[in-house]
Amino acid sequence: MPEGELALPPEDTLNSPLGLDTERQQKARDYSRLQRRFAYIQTGIIAIAASFLIFSGLSSELTSHLGLPPVWSAGIYFLLLACVYEIFSLPFDYYTGYVLGKRYGVLSQTRQTFFADAAKSFLITLVMGVLLVAAVYAVMGAWPDIWWLLVWLGFLAVSMGMTFIAPIWLIPLFYPMKPLDDGELKTSLTELCRRIGVFVRGIYIIELSAHGTAANAALMGLGRTRRIVLSDTMVDRYSIPEIEVIMSHEIAHQQHNDMLRLFSLQAAVLFGVLAVGGAIFSYLSNAMEYSGLSDPAGLPLLGGILAVLLIGISPVLSLFTRKLEKQADEFALNISQNPSAFRTAMTRLVNQNLAEAEPSNWLERLTQDHPSYTQRIRLADEFEKRRSVDRG
């Protein structure tokens, strides 16, 4: 396949209401397995390297040469660690993101645009990371007893701000966006929003085809930045009823205040992680004879503690988000009254996005934030049966 050419499944496969492409399902399982394998290897190597950095005394040795106030030293130390991490991770990211993406036909980027996006992502992460680390260490130095609480409040403010500005400033850095042209689809979605009672600033097309074959849709932003976003890979291949049922699902999250519910849970989890992590960090900082909480040498230790706690609690977040997604599916079925369009839309998404229709039970419970394809089809079948009984 030439570089930049999309490798979508054939249309005739997707036209069947329950026509899962068995060949693509095998590819999906292989693709997911390889990605997980390399992710485990990468994580293991990083954990070993971080442990050596922390417990060998190398972290203290490195920061002792900086000779700057703790806030500046912490920022520079993070910058150095981030650069080393990026150099180490780049081969893994290139193989799992580019090589496997090309092999399995889910990536349409050229090698140049892949690395250009990686560079932009790294620079954004670097700038934001340096600022956040410097802020955390400034708070540690000024309020050592309640630093974790103030950091928690700061992260909440930053998260809210990112949700507001992401559709306007961040996403367009990677994916071109343009307003949806007037026509039947725009009229249909505008009427859907009016009927449900949700305000959107506009309806936009995001050009995912410049990067890959995946299709997606979302209701992005807050307040005056809230907008419907449809991928060009969806608009070009899905019927209007299918797009309507997908957007009904997305709008359901707005109607159910799911963003607030999820944000509240994440805030509570982060509160607990910072409180527990802060206590563990304080104890270990004394045990390892750092010169205080704001000693930049403790940065890898603090990051490691928080990472372990967040990984440990992530299955709870996954369970909660799957519950929200199921409720959104039920809303979409009730609004559309079109289980057939729901089934064909889910089938198209699974086939096109090279997703596993039925991942293993442990994988779904630990990592998946959406119900499996099989569960979603079963939900549509149950809805149709109930509707038939009610009409009978």
- Give the tokens for residue 237: 């291949």
Report residue 209 as tokens: 């085809």
Q: How far apart are CA 232 and CA 216, in angstroms?
A: 9
Which residues sit opposite 203 in a β-bridge?
228
Dihedral sign of CA atoms 224, 230, 232, 238 in order = negative
Cβ-based neighbour number of residue 167 at 10 Å: 22
Angle between helix axes 184-196 and 299-336 (nearest 10 degrees) is: 100
Please compute, for residue 133, the number of CA atoms within 13 A of its CA located in the half-sphere on the CB side: 27
Q: How far is CA 121 from CA 86, 126, 173, 174, 202, in A?
A: 11, 8, 9, 9, 27
pLDDT attached to residue 345: 96
Count CB neighbours of 286 within 10 A: 11
- pLDDT of residue 42 exceeding 50: yes
Radius of gyration of the chain (CA): 23
Query: pLDDT digit string (tens) for 315-324?
Result: 999 999 999 9
* Confidence at 1, pLDDT banded by 50, 70, 90: very low
Give the pLDDT confidence score for residue 48 in this predicted structure.
95
- The rounded distance, in Å, linking the Cα atoms of 338 and 244 is 10
Q: How many CB atoms lie within 10 A of CB 339?
A: 21
Type of residue numbered 292: G
Q: Which two tokens mark 229?
A: 């976003």
Residue 11, pLDDT > 80, answer: no
Closest CA to 218 of 232, 206, 208, 228: 228
Instruction: Say how many Å lie between the first and final Cα of the chain, rounded.
Output: 52
Global pTM value: 0.86
pLDDT at residue number 392 = 61
Q: What is the mean pLDDT of the chain?
A: 89
**Mean pLDDT, residues 239-250 taken together:** 95
Query: What pLDDT was estimated at residue 92?
Result: 95
Q: What are the structure tokens assigned to 155, written together?
A: 């992260």
162-193: per-residue pLDDT in tens?
877 777 777 888 888 899 999 999 999 999 99
Which neighbouring-strand residues pair with 309? none
Coil vs helix vs strand at 19: coil
pLDDT cut 70: percent of the chain above it: 95
Q: How far does CA 359 lie from the centroid of its chain?
A: 18
Buried-state track 232-241, b at ≥16 Cβ within 10 A, e below 16: bbbbebbeeb
**Nearest Cα to Cα of residue 77 among 309, 255, 371, 299:** 299
pLDDT recorded at residue 365: 76
For 68-169, where are the alpha helices, taking DSSP H only? Answer: 70-93, 100-103, 111-142, 147-165
Which helix (H) or strand (E) segment is 220 a member of? strand 217-220
Count of residues in the chain: 392
Report the pLDDT averaged over residues 37-55: 94
pLDDT digits (tens, 9 = 90+) for 125-167: 999 999 999 999 999 999 999 999 999 999 999 888 887 777 7
Contact 323, 374 (CB under 8 A): no
Instruction: Starting at the earlier edge strand, list the strands of the sheet with 217-220.
Output: 177-179, 203-206, 227-231, 217-220
